[in-house]
Amino acid sequence: MDRRLFIRLLGGGVVTAATAGTLSGCSSDLPAAALAAWSGPGQPPAPGTDPRHWLLAHAILAPHSHNLQSWLVDLREPDRITLYCDRSRLLPETDPFSRQMMMSQGTFLELLDLAARQLGLRADMQLFPQGEFGPAHIDQRPTALIKLSPDASIRPDPLFQQVFKRRTNREAYEAREPAAAALAAITASAAAPNMVTGFVGSAQAALRDQHRQIAMDAWRIELETPRTVLESFHYLRIGPSEIAEHRDGISLNKPFVRAVTALGLFDRTQAPGPGDSNIAAQIKDFNTKLATTPAFFWLTTQGNSRSAQVLSGRAYARAQLAATAHGLSMHPLQQALQEYPEQAQPYAAIHQLLDAPVATHTVQMWARLGYAPPVGPAPRRGVEAHLVKG
Ligand SMILES: Cc1cc2nc3c(=O)[nH]c(=O)nc-3n(C[C@H](O)[C@H](O)[C@H](O)COP(=O)(O)O)c2cc1C
């Protein structure tokens, strides 16, 4: 799509003719139906009644790569929740080994646990109760079996208060450095065995520049690789009706994108050609954001077992909730951590920079960190959409 062409079209009044109705009362706000889950499940369930829907209503607010919400839950056995990864919701191009999917199972488990603690319930979580998936593929076996039981020793966790406030924030961040107390709280919240978290900020400006450069390179590669950009296009939801219908993926609701799409000028089935002006504009915009990002957060594990991936997701959810409690935003940058061949150079570079030798360690999460203007919540499909039927 040629931006200049679009501007010419605007000048000619074609937009008005073609999109009247589609854009009437045009607002960038997401449709209420897509955000209903953020109103929460209401009062906690009365003691003695089934708490599982209430717990799930919190768990589905977890962050998930590309907002795919690939959580399938089986409630057919009382007092238990069996969690599966919905294999119709994977990202084979950008997440070929489903590492991010496993992390996204972990974020769900963490929020579920926080909600259980709120009710004085112990949530015993057995990961991979029928055995761990191998490194290449995931299969139909469950990722976790959760047994719930009342336990007077279980205390609420203050991070629960942040569940409804947490957002992935992709905006430009302010230049000011995250407060030291906030960094300490994030570190403490995410502490787990065989895992290291860290930050880089203005105290290590040269190192931070290297972080920025790797993120820029990796983002450009993702946008210029036809099959990976097409995978993202597939999960773009543009305009209120697509957003309300799917309630997943990445929502775009700004009038400009809606107008371009309504005019048929944004073909999501075709990868943009070399030098495409829209892709160039996106790269420029993201480079500006990266160049002013004050700090980066990272999380590495020893090894890369499926359990390590799930536990990394749990730790990331805690880190992001702790950041939220301190008024800080996070924005994951997974591009350089992705295992498809075109990313080999940024992948090696970020592992080297973080002192995580590829043979023995894995960078599981890397994120922008800083203060930013608030953003709204992302769509959720609602608890019913996640239940195994039958
Ligand atoms: C494992 C994982 C990887 C993610 N990678 C990215 C990423 O590379 N870029 C990005 O913008 N967001 C990324 N996200 C954030 C999701 O896109 C976000 O959680 C989802 O869109 C829902 O929005 P929310 O977090 O505001 O609820 C990632 C989240 C997780 C859990």
Using alpha carbons only, how large is the chain's radius of gyration in Å? 21
Tokens 């089986």 sit on residue: 74
Q: What is the pLDDT of residue 274?
A: 86
Query: What is the CA angle 155-153-71, rounded to 5?
Result: 60
Residue 190 resides in a domain = no
Report whether pLDDT(23) > 80.
no
* Residue 224: strand, helix, or coil: helix
- Cβ-contact 271, 229 below 8 angstroms: yes
Which pLDDT value is given to residue 19?
A: 41
**Ligand 1 proximity of 168 Cβ (cutoff 6 Å):** yes
CA distance 347 to 334: 10
Mean pLDDT, residues 326-339: 98
Is 24 contained in some domain? no
| Ligand 1 pocket check for 379: Cβ under 6 Å | no
Task: Please identify, by atom number, the ligand 1 atom nearest to the C-alpha of residue 101.
Answer: 1
Q: pLDDT tens digits, residue range 26-68? A: 788 999 999 999 999 999 999 889 999 999 999 999 999 999 9
The residue nearest atom 15 of ligand 1, judged by CA position, is 65
Q: Name 25's Cβ contacts closer than 8 Å, sequence gap at least 6.
A: none
68 part of a folded domain: yes
The answer to whether residue 91 sits within a structural domain is yes
Q: Which domain holds residue 76?
A: 32-164
Nearest to 321 by CA among 167, 92, 199: 167
Atom of ligand 1 nearest to the CA of 169: 26
Residue 195 pLDDT more than 90? Answer: yes
Give tens-digit pLDDT for 90-101: 999 999 999 999
Token digits of residue 139 = 């299969």
pLDDT at 101: 98
Q: What is the model's pLDDT at position 25?
A: 54
Task: For residue range 211-269, list pLDDT tens digits in order.
Answer: 999 999 999 999 999 999 999 999 999 999 999 999 999 999 999 999 999 999 999 99
Q: Which of 35, 93, 94, 168 maximizes ligand 1 atoms within 8 Å of its Cβ, making it the mutation to test the pocket?
A: 168
| CA of 101 relative to ligand 1 center, distance in Å | 11
Contact (CB, 8 A) for 375 and 169 = yes
The domain tally of the chain equals: 1
Q: Residue 70 maps to which CATH number? A: 3.40.109.10
Query: Could you give the 3-state DSSP secondary structure of residue 166?
Result: coil
Parallel, antiparallel, or unpaired: how do β-strands 329-332 and 80-85 relate?
unpaired
Note whether residue 128 is domain-resident. Answer: yes
CA 127 from centroid of its chain's CA atoms:
21
For position 27, what pLDDT does the model report?
83
What's the pLDDT score for residue 1?
45
Q: What is the pTM of this model?
A: 0.95
Rounded to an integer, the average pLDDT of 274-295 is 95
pLDDT at residue number 48: 85
In the chain, % of residues over pLDDT 90: 91
* 251 inside domain: no
368 lines ligand 1 (CB under 6 A): no
So what's the pLDDT on residue 47? 84
Contacts of 342 (CB under 8 A, 6+ apart): 221, 225, 228
The band of 22, judged by pLDDT with boundaries at 50, 70 and 90, is very low
| Cα 308 to Cα 70: distance, rounded to the nearest angstrom | 19
User: Quick check: is 116 in a domain?
Assistant: yes
Instruction: Give φ, ψ of 118 to 5 degrees.
Output: -60, -30
In a domain? residue 120: yes
